[in-house]
Every structure is written in structure tokens, then in C-alpha cells.
Structure 1
Amino acid sequence: MDYRKCAQDIYDKLGGRENLVSAAHCATRLRLVTVDNSKIDLKGLEDTEGVKGVFQSNGQLQLIIGTGTVNKVYDEFLSISGMTAATKDEVKAAAAAKQNILQRMVKALGDVFVPILPAIVASGLLMGILEGLSNAIPGLTESGTYTIFHMFSNAAFVFLPILVAVSAARVFGGNIFLGAVMGMIMIHSDLVNAWNVASMTAAGQTIPTADVWFGLFDIQLTGYQGHVIPVIIAVWLMCQIEKWLHKHVPEMIDLFVTPLTTVCVTGYLTLTIFGPIFSTLETWVLNGVQVLITIPFGIGAALMGIVYPLTVVCGIHHMYNVIEAGMLSSGLNTWMPIASAANFAQGAACLAVALKTRNRKFKSLALPSALSGFLGITEPAIFGVNLRFVTPLIAGMVGAAAGSVVAYIFGIGATAYGVTGLFGFLTTTGYTVPYLIELVVTFVVAFAVCWVLYREKEEETEQEPKEAQPEQPAVTCVPGVVYAPLSGTVIPMEEIPDPTFAAGVLGMGCGIVPDGSEVVAPFDGTISTAAGTGHAIGISSPDGMELLIHVGIDTVSLDGKGFQLLCAEGDTVKAGQTLMRFDPDVITKAGLSTTTAVMVTNAEDYETVQLVKTGAVRPLEQLLEAKVQCPV
């Protein structure tokens, strides 16, 4: 793979340097933030050799290139664009600045829940394994080993508010240990465990209360086990108070005053106002989702399966973590089978494309993307294939609806969230056969619909490779001959609107008033000079000629604006190879002349340097001829 060519092709389709904000890369993707997405040639990017997929998510333009390759393309991209390397966090921050408040809120939820997924997954998988073993081995639940591992399996759920609080404090820029304290306060042992409230009420026991705000009203002293939204709100409030105090409290007493005030104020406001309000709202949301999922005949579940991939496209699917965490706190996660059907269906539709397409590039992209979808990771399939051709996306939505109905019929539930697809068998141990039926139905429907409806357009079919054509007509370089490095109108050296060039101080040659925007190598040689501002290039020929190509007059003052160097000092180049691109409009708008000086700087080594072309000239037409001095 030609990494520089790939990077150049990508750069050419992004709308120019002024349309780029920042660039970074991860293990597989080039991550870009642009000013105006409408200036991007998405179709051209998708067709670029080396790019396996293109999608936009959370304000970023992400190009899937591949492990071991993306870093090399990224280095070339920085060299071509003149940008400096950015971290993934800096790119995320730049992308977030372009999002509206709703997108930022949903992104914040994702940022809170994604880091704690390993803890939830580990606990959920262990819980599922223990359930399966206890069903297979009667009496296992009475053993001490089971008791110990059961404690391991539910630890993350028992102390979930603390995990959420620590992660939220990190996201909102607060002290993570103060965040942990807030989580501890909300599930303190002096409060009635939230999971015991229902049984105490049924038994006629009274929930203890406390009068607050100087007796204005009473609150129930109940904990927030199983709740996440009140914890996130509490920690967000804590971070705002902490930051304000750090700015206004003198440094001498900041260490004592800020933590004490932050905990006291946040804790009291949370337990008396925000906690009760948002826990009630969260309960309403969970009840609403449960009602939606249980609409008769699986209609609600089917609708959720259809909508799910669209939320992935919008980058807001992390909001479902809140719903799933709430479900797990009170029983099984019945949302997981719907998400699993949606993910598995997109993989099945992508596989249909992989088997049906005749385009080798699409096939090599679609096949691994489909396998990834079966494991629960659908971004490659959705953004790389299905969304691009639309029909596979719709087929996947139909398959998701069918699978979700099956999940509704069997009442399938999971013991964790964040695990879907084939790995979902580990968290649905009590529903192994129904879950298998769900995935089979999902696969068959999505694959069949895509196979029947997907039609490959003519332009999508891979064409027979054509013999590569050179950018410019091939020339046989002759010693002492300089070929035109750009198109335009040739003028004598004396008419160049710069006294230094006109007087021959820098050598002998001519000027060209350009009508294009590219400079090519005027002969085979080596780049001896490449100006940092991109406006001038020096090139040496094998026979010792030194040539300067200076685009525009006084263009050094532009500090590189409007210029793009495609070569570096020491590069070996061939006649006709593109060395530079420039924007004539940028030069003229700055009040400068675009006249390009083409000067043999070691003219004293030659008897004469003659201009052999006047008037209109095209690249690689013979322009100058230098004759070697006759020996004395």
C-alpha cells in the first residue's frame, strides 16, 4: 500500500486545509473533525484505496483503515496537511464543541457508562455462569464456594452507585474520591436499602423519615441502590460546586474548605431535593420502557428493534445503558435481547452483501464487518456497508423486529448489559434455547430480505483494472534541457515583476504567468530545497544543473497559506511528477503576482541559458536550454 498516496487522496477529498480542525488516530481509524461536512467528498473517500469504511459519529469523521496501517497513513496525512498531531481526547473535545446540548448530554452518559462496562460485564457473566451451574448441579447453592462466587457476581450491582459516581466525577472534571463519597452517601447503611422498601411496605412496616429544610417537609430515609440518574445528577452538581470553590476560596484554606463544603452542600441537596425528584423520574422512564416492551403481540419490542440501529447511527445508543442498569437493579435485563437482535440482524444483512457483491473491495470490507456484528459490535457493518447502501440497513431493521418479537414471546432476559450477539449466551443461561431461536430467526429474516432486495448498482461493481496512465506525457530528459514545470504564458526574465529575478541576480531563466495550480518536476532529479512556506522548490539534475521554481512574487509573506508541498528535501523525483499545488486566488487576493520564476541558479557553469519557448506553454514542453561552456 502506498501510504502517502492514500493520505493524499484522503486530504484531497476533505475540502482543503481550512476545513480541517483536528486529526488523530486510534488502533484502526483515522479520526477527523471538520468545519463543514458538506464540503467533504464522502463518496470519493469511500472509494479511496486503503479506506475500508467511512462514517460520521459524535461530531467526528472516522475512516476505517486498519491496524498497523492507520498510523503510517496518519503520519503522511500530517505531513501533507501541515497539521500537528492531536490526541483522541483533543479530537473528542473538538467534536463535542460542535454538538448541541442534547447530543452532549447523551455523550456524557456514554462517557460515564463505557468505562465501567468491564465491571458490569464480569459480574453479569459470572452471574449467568453460576445460574447455569446451579441448574445443572442440584445443591450447589448450599456450598461455601457458591456463596463466595455469588458475592463476586453481584458486587458491581450492589455498589453500582459508587462506580457510577467515580466515573461521572472523572467525566465532569471533579475529584473522583469526592465522587466516590457521594456514591457512598447515597447507599449508606443508615438508609433503608431501596430493594427492601417494597417488602417492608407490604409487611406494614414504616419507612423512617426525616424533616428537612427546618421542618418544611419530610423525606423518606431510603437509599438509591439500583438508581443511576440521581447519582449522575448529584455528581454533576458536586463538580460544579467544587470548581466554583476552587476558584474563589483562598489557596491557604482551599484544602479544608472546598471538600467539606462540597460534600455537605451536595449531599444535603441530593438527599432532600434532587435525589427524590430524579429517582421518581427514572422510575417513570423505566416503567414506561417496560410497558412499551410488553405491548401485546410484541409490537413495542419490534418497534424498539427497528429504532435501535438508527440510534447507533446518531451516536446516542449509550443512553440505553441507563435503562439496562435500572432493569438489572430490579431483576432481569429485558432490553438486552432487543439490542442483540438489532446487532445480529445488521451483521446478517452485511453478510448477504459480502456474499452477493462482485466488488472485491466491498467483499473484503463486508465479511469481517458482518462477523463483528455477530459478536455485538455493529459500527463497521452499519457505517462501512449497510448505511452506505441503505437496503442492507433496512433489511437489518426488519430482521431486528422479527427477533425482538421472539424475545417478547419467550420473555428472554439477561444478567448483564454491554454483551450482545453470540456472547449473549453467557448472560442468558436460563434462556439458552429461546435465545438461540431468537438469533436464528433474526439471521434468517435479515439475510433473506437483504439477499432479495439488494441490487448492486453498476458503479458499485468492480471494473476491470485499467493500465495506469501517467499524470503527464512521458519525456526523455536531455542534459541541459529544462521542461516547463507548469502551464501558462512564458515571459522573458526581464519582465518578471521583481527586480531581483529580472536582473538575473538569482540566475538566468524566465517567468511563467500560470493558468493552472500545479507544479511538476521539470526533469529527473533530486529536491535540493523545499521552502517551509511551500512557495519555492529547488531541484538538481544528474548532470549538475541547479533550478529554482519560485511561485509568485513575495509569496513568502503568505506564510504557506494557499500552498501545498508534495515533496521534501532529498526526494528523488521524475519529470512530470507533481511537486506542489497552489491556489492562485489566495495569491491574487493578497495583492500579489502569481508570476512564477524558473531560474537556473548556477548559470555561471554554462556558456548560455536560452529561452526556447515563448507564449502559451504546457507542462513538460521544452522551456530552457543550457549549453555547457566550451573548454579553453
Structure 2
Amino acid sequence: MNNSEMGKKILEGLGGPENISHFTHCATRLRVTPKSKAAIDKKAIENVPGVLSIIEQSGQTQVVLGDKVEAVYNEMQKLPGVSGVGEGSVAAGNEVADPNEKKANWITRTFDVLSDSFRPVLWALLGSSMILTLIVLLQQLGVFGTYTNFAGEVVNKDLVNGPKLGDAALNADMLNSWRTEYTFWFLILAASLSVLNFMPIMIGATAAKRLGANMWVGAAIPAALMTDAFRGLSEILPEGANHLDLFHIGGWAVPLYLFSYTGQIFPPLFAAALLAPLERFLKKIIPTMLHMVFVPMISILILVPLTALVIGPFGILLGQGISDLFGWLNDIAPWLVGAVIAGTYLFMVPLGLHWPLNAVMINNLQTNGFDFIQSPMAAYNFAVFGLVTGVAIRAKHDKELRQTATGAAVSGLLGGISEPSLYGVVLRYKRVFPLILVPAVIGGALISALGVKSYAFAFTSLLSIPAMQPIPLFAIGLAIAYFGAMAGVLIFGYESKAQAAESRAKRENAPAIDAEGGEAAVVDTVESGAPVAHESEVLHSGARTATAGTAAATGATASSASATAAPVATSPDSYEAGTVLDIASPIVGRAIPLSEVPDPIFAAAKLGKGAAIEPTGNTVVAPADGKVIATPASGHAVGLKLDNGAELLIHVGIDTVNLGGEGFDVKVKKGERVTAGQTLLTFDHDIIKKAGYPLTTPVLVTNTVKFDDVEGATGDVTQSDKILKITTK
């Protein structure tokens, strides 16, 4: 399924564009705020191939797609009715939410807005930070040479932070000499610092848009405090002062604190929070024809001075306070900070609570030039990546899981994104939590205790290791986390006892190639709407379980079956092209098209073409001579390989596996030879109906790919009537 088809299916499951009031995405998830959750078909979305998980959080429906998310989002934006639902925007006509929907509390909404404000910037931030990581690595390698600092030490030239000579004039002179010598690299340095330095403008825009205000007015407010006109006021500060007296009210002077707003996070967020209600108020009192001029004019006139006087200083002090608190804890017990951060991330990421920490990391980088939160957090990432690597190694009998784990490990190690691992493997096998937590906590505690700090914002991966210094000490912590988690899963496994028992049962019901050289596959539970790779995926050469056969004569007895010699099964390739094989109905009832089966997997012929029967009888018989190749313990289905080489799956009812065998009486065993008309199983209509499951019985040619066509009959059928017409290639 391509990205466009995925987008269409997901949009249908979300209730269509008319049910969306807010639509955006992050690195791994589509994030949708619906008008009504009742209109969302969660099951349908989960059944879309490529969807890892669905999370209901913060009033959002979050569809986890992994690294496909941006491509799918872009395709969804092209769909009719979606183009107006831009990133972080509200679709026209969708502003009114369902009054019956429960709203999230203010703390949840605050975190939601905070994370939604960061996500659009994240792409550019990570890209520019990786450039900064490259420059830091080159500095560490001594590519730019060395100089003697104010302490008399010979150290590598630091283009990012400048020289340290103990005198401002000397520092400026040496920095200018470096600029002359490494002009190209200072150009690259400008690229690496672009997002970090001008973060207030970007966050002002995204936060304003998220809150329903004009994004460019949201950007203009912090931009005003980064102009030379504002920054130039620091030139007239009295010596030793940090503020100017703006004006006097009576005998009280109103102070204007002249902070640097480069790279600040909280001031533009708070300004946007005031801009949104101010705009709504102004639009009510100002005539519509004057909105375009006077709403932004008055908003800027009010909020720029207010931000400079109150909002900005408060935001800067708040950010510094949070940073100082973490710094204080880190000074007292760095190992404890590292252990807590690495240990709690496993629970914070699914809840979206890790986004506020990003603001603290960025604030630390801008204020201190380094951060001490991101480095121990990397231990969590690498513990997760190590675990899924171990799962990929151990999952020998589960091709789908092995592919999922391998892809998650590669994308994590190279891209630093943990969500594909988290939703594709970890949350599916919750017994692995301790296998992640123990090495992550140990690795995180060691990284912090060794004083490792980050000097650029990046998703921690193999490529971003140079952003953490010292690299050797950081690598030790990562190795403990990665190999510790991988060793844990290799030793203790990843499945619970129940999951392991289920896997064993599935393998036992998946016979290998039979004596006649035929191919076998698993016939297992087919849950309504669920992916069924483990139920029908072929174990050899792409074939699937099923029975196909020649036209069956009825009335043969079980005893005659046992007395009949076992002929060698015919291969579909042995027929002349165009040969027609007729398959008799295994049940008395009414044949219907496969597309009418109340299960998307069967209806879409994903397990093979065929027909379905609404049974009036209660006995399933062999439609032709052949061999039983699968009889699941639940007794609800049987797989046959007919002597003409066709394979057939007869699946009685939908979701009937959940009955655990109740109401079914299987008369044959796997590997047994059967003849046309021999009873395979009987079932109780009343028990199945009472349980609420449809009796519709798919009859599928699961090795359809080996034939030119398979056509199903319709109408009333007995066990002597043709139900399938198979044409050979």
C-alpha cells in the first residue's frame, strides 16, 4: 500500500476531513484533534498496513506511523477537503467541537500546545544542529588548529564559543583573526546556529498558529526584541546597571530590563498565549473591513512593550530558574539526575511528556552553551535500540516481527527516533520493560556521573555522538545501555509465558513441506479486521494453506478414505494453460461473493480468491481427494491440499477462534488422507450465533497466485454443487 492509499484509509477512519479541527504531525505520529471521537473508527485505522499504533491523548488521536509519517501527511494534505486543514490549523467550518466531548485539563492542554509549537520547528532544528555537531567534532579533532588560552593551556580552537584569553578586547582580536582564516567555516557555523539563535521568532509563529492567532504577528513580537533598535538600548545602560527607567508613574520608575532574547523559548510562548485572546477581542470590536490593518497594528503596539516590560523578563527568569534547578541537582548528584532521566523517558515518550524537556535542553544550550539532560537521555534511546536488535536476532520464527524490529533498530541507530521501536515492539511485549530500564538507568547514571554534556540539540543516534563530549566517556554509557538491553533479551527472551505458548501453538500448526512435496502454511485465527500474516503467510515459496480440488463426488465414507492409497499431489504447473478445475461446495447453504464477507481481510481476498457460504447445514466435508495440512486447536477451520495441487482454506464463521473450540467437533487430523465427501468437522449454529459471531464461511484458494483465475459461484449450493471454478495458467 503506497502513502496515498494509506492516507485515504486513515482519513476515512478519522471520520473524514469534516471531523478534523486540528491536524499536524511530529517525527513519527499524525496528530489529529477531532470534532467527535465517536466518529473515529479506530479499528479501521489500526488495520491499515503501516500503522504501528493509535494513541488517545490530550484530546488528540495520534496515529503512529514511524518514519513514513511526513510522506503520508503530505499525501493526506492533497486529499479533497484536507488542504484547508494545514499543519497546526483549524479547518474552515470545523471550529465547533462536539459539546459532548470531554476536554483535557489545563495541564494536558498546556503540554499539548507546547509540543505542537516545537514540532514544526524540529525538522530545521535537527538539521542545523547536525551541522553544529560536525563543527564540534572537527574542533575536537584539532582540524582548526590550537591556541594558548588565558590559563596558559594549549587547546583546540573553538569557533563556536570563541577564544578564552581573559580579556574582551584580546578575545575580539583573536576571533577576528579566526574569521579571516576560516571564513568558509564561519559561514557554515552561521547555518548551524540559525535555528537556535532565531528560535523565538519561529516559536512565536508556530505557537500563535497553534492557538488560532496570526502566525506572522506571533513572529513579529519576539522579532522586535531582536532588532538593533532594541538591542542598541544596551549601549546607553549606566555602568553596572541591567535596566533603563522607561518612564515614571508618580514616584515609581517603570524598569525596562534589557535581556538578550536570542534563542529564548518561553517569552514567545507567553506572548502568543496573550496574542490569541487579544486578536479575538479586537476582531469583535473592529469592523471586518478594517481587520487586516488595525488588528495586527494594535496587537503589536500592545504586546511588544508588554513583552519587553513583563512577559520577556518573566519568561527568561523562568527558563533560567528551571535550568538552575536541574543544574543544582546535577551538581549535587549527577548520577541521580542521569538515572532518573534515562529511566523515566520510557514512560514519558508514550504520554508526550518528553516535549517540555526539549524546551529546557534548548534553553540550557542557549544560556550555558551546553546541556546535561540530553546526554543521559541517550541511554534510554540506545537501550531501546539494543532491545529491538536482540528481538530481531531472536525472532527466528516470526518473519513479520523480525522485519519490524530490524527496521526499528536501523532507523533508531541512524535517526535517533525511538517511537518505531516503542510502538512496534516494546509496548507489544511489555515484559521487556525491565530489560530496557536496568541498562538505561545504569548507562544514564554513568554518563552524568562522568560529566558528559551535549553541545548541540539532536536526536541521539550513532551520527550525533560527536555532539556529546567527551566522546569516549559517552560511548561507554551508550555501550552499557545498548549491549545490556540486547543481552537481556537474548538471555531472557521477549515474550510472556502466554505469548510464548501462543507462538509455539502457531508453529505447531504450520507444517513443513509434506511427503508429496506439497507446500504448507499456517491456518490460524483470523480476527476480524486484524493483520493475518502469521495466520496465512506461506512457509514455503509464497504458497498459503488451503484446499483446492477437483469436482467432488459425495457419499464416500471415512473408512474408504483410510483404505485408499495416497496418490502424489499434482502441481498446478503440470496442467495445460486454460484447464478448468471445479471445486464442490464443502457445506450446504447459500454461496455469496467473497467481497460480502464481514471481514476486510477475507473480503479483500488477501488470503486468496474464492467464495463464501452462509451455511444452513452443520457439516463440512472434503470437496475432493487430498490431504489435511492444518487443523488449528480451536477447530474452527481446516486446511486441505487437494490432489490436483490446489490448496483450500475452509474457515467456519468470523472470529470463531475466540470460542476456543466450543461448538466445533473436528473429525480429522493433520496429515490424514481424505476422500471427497468425507466429514472434516461439524459445528453448532446455536453456540456460534449466541456468541454473536457471523456464520459466514469463506472458502478460499490460498495458492491463487499459481492459477490464472479463481471464480466463485453464488446462490443455493449443496455438497455436490460447484462453488469454485479455477483456471490454470
* Residue 383 of structure 2 is aligned to residue 345 of structure 1: yes
Pick aligned residue for 1:222 from 258, 264, 271: 258
**Equivalent in the alignment of 2:502:** 459
Distance 1:477 1:91 in 2: 59
Pick aligned residue for 1:209 from 221, 245, 257: 245
**Equivalent in the alignment of 1:611:** none
**Equivalent in the alignment of 2:53:** 54
What SS is found at the alignment partner of 2:612?
coil
Q: Which moved more, 1:92-101 or 1:179-188?
A: 92-101
Pick aligned residue for 2:121 from 89, 98, 116: 116
Distance 1:365 1:250, change over 3 A: same
What SS is found at the alignment partner of 1:423?
coil
**Equivalent in the alignment of 1:280:** 317
Distance 1:249 1:401, change over 3 A: same
What SS is found at the alignment partner of 1:121?
helix
* RMSD over equivalenced CA pairs, Å: 5.4
8 Å CA contact 2:130, 2:458 repeated in 1: no
In the TM superposition, what is the alpha-carbon distance from 1:374 to its structure 2 partner? Answer: 2.1
Distance 2:268 2:251 in 1: 25
Distance 1:105 1:524, change over 3 A: closer
**Equivalent in the alignment of 1:129:** 134
8 Å CA contact 1:473, 1:576 repeated in 2: no
In the TM superposition, what is the alpha-carbon distance from 1:578 to its structure 2 partner? Answer: 7.2
Distance 1:17 1:117 in 2: 29
Distance 1:169 1:41, change over 3 A: closer
Distance 1:65 1:165 in 2: 28
Distance 2:249 2:275 in 1: 19
After the TM superposition, which residues 330-409 of structure 1 pair with which residues of structure 2 at under 5 Å, given as runs?
Answer: 330=367, 331-360=369-398, 361-375=400-414, 376-409=416-449
* Counterpart code for 2:453: G
Pick aligned residue for 2:473 from 426, 434, 437: 434
* Residue 145 of structure 2 is aligned to residue 138 of structure 1: yes
**Equivalent in the alignment of 2:697:** none
Distance 1:10 1:259 in 2: 37
Distance 2:127 2:295 in 1: 36
Per-residue CA distance 1:139-173 (angstroms, 9 max, x = gap): 67524214443344333333221222122222223
Distance 1:575 1:414, change over 3 A: closer
Distance 1:216 1:402 in 2: 55
Q: Which moved more, 1:85-94 or 1:415-424?
A: 85-94
**Equivalent in the alignment of 1:418:** 458
Distance 1:51 1:85 in 2: 23
* Counterpart code for 1:238: L
Distance 1:193 1:298, change over 3 A: farther
Distance 1:276 1:40, change over 3 A: same
Distance 1:205 1:372, change over 3 A: same
Q: Which moved more, 1:110-119 or 1:210-219?
A: 210-219
In the TM superposition, what is the alpha-carbon distance from 1:291 to its structure 2 partner? Answer: 2.6
* Counterpart code for 2:478: L
Distance 1:564 1:434, change over 3 A: closer
* Residue 257 of structure 2 is aligned to residue 250 of structure 1: no
8 Å CA contact 1:165, 1:235 repeated in 2: yes
Distance 1:159 1:30 in 2: 27
Distance 2:215 2:601 in 1: 47
Per-residue CA distance 1:446-500 (angstroms, 9 max, x = gap): 223333333532114452435659999999999xxxxxxxxxxxxxxxxxxxxxx
Distance 1:260 1:215, change over 3 A: farther
In the TM superposition, what is the alpha-carbon distance from 1:232 to its structure 2 partner? Answer: 0.7
Distance 2:10 2:272 in 1: 42
Normalized per residue, which structure has more helix? Answer: 1
Distance 1:396 1:246, change over 3 A: same
Distance 1:151 1:97, change over 3 A: farther
Distance 2:440 2:273 in 1: 36
Q: Which moved more, 1:443-452 or 1:320-329?
A: 443-452
After the TM superposition, which residues 475-494 of structure 1 pair with which residues of structure 2 at under 5 Å, given as runs?
Answer: none
After the TM superposition, which residues 303-318 of structure 1 pair with which residues of structure 2 at under 5 Å, given as runs?
Answer: 303-318=340-355
Distance 2:41 2:242 in 1: 65
Q: What fraction of aligned residue pairs are identical, expressed as a percent? A: 20
Ranges in structure 1 where 5+ consecutive residues have no aligned partner: 76-82, 479-519, 535-561, 582-617, 625-632
Distance 1:122 1:574 in 2: 51
Distance 1:438 1:211, change over 3 A: farther
8 Å CA contact 2:345, 2:377 repeated in 1: yes
8 Å CA contact 2:125, 2:195 repeated in 1: yes
What SS is found at the alignment partner of 1:576?
strand
TM (norm. structure 2) is 0.55
8 Å CA contact 1:524, 1:573 repeated in 2: no
Q: How many residue pairs were aligned? A: 487
8 Å CA contact 2:111, 2:355 repeated in 1: yes
**Equivalent in the alignment of 1:236:** 273
* Counterpart code for 1:269: L
Distance 1:157 1:28 in 2: 23
Distance 2:256 2:30 in 1: 52
Distance 1:565 1:415, change over 3 A: closer
Per-residue CA distance 1:526-546 (angstroms, 9 max, x = gap): 99xx9xxx9xxxxxxxxxxxx
**Equivalent in the alignment of 2:577:** none
Q: Which moved more, 1:367-376 or 1:463-472?
A: 463-472
In the TM superposition, what is the alpha-carbon distance from 1:234 to its structure 2 partner? Answer: 0.3
Pick aligned residue for 2:488 from 415, 430, 449: 449
Pick aligned residue for 2:304 from 236, 246, 267: 267
8 Å CA contact 1:164, 1:232 repeated in 2: yes
What SS is found at the alignment partner of 2:55?
strand
Distance 1:226 1:577, change over 3 A: same
* Residue 173 of structure 2 is aligned to residue 172 of structure 1: no
What SS is found at the alignment partner of 1:421?
coil
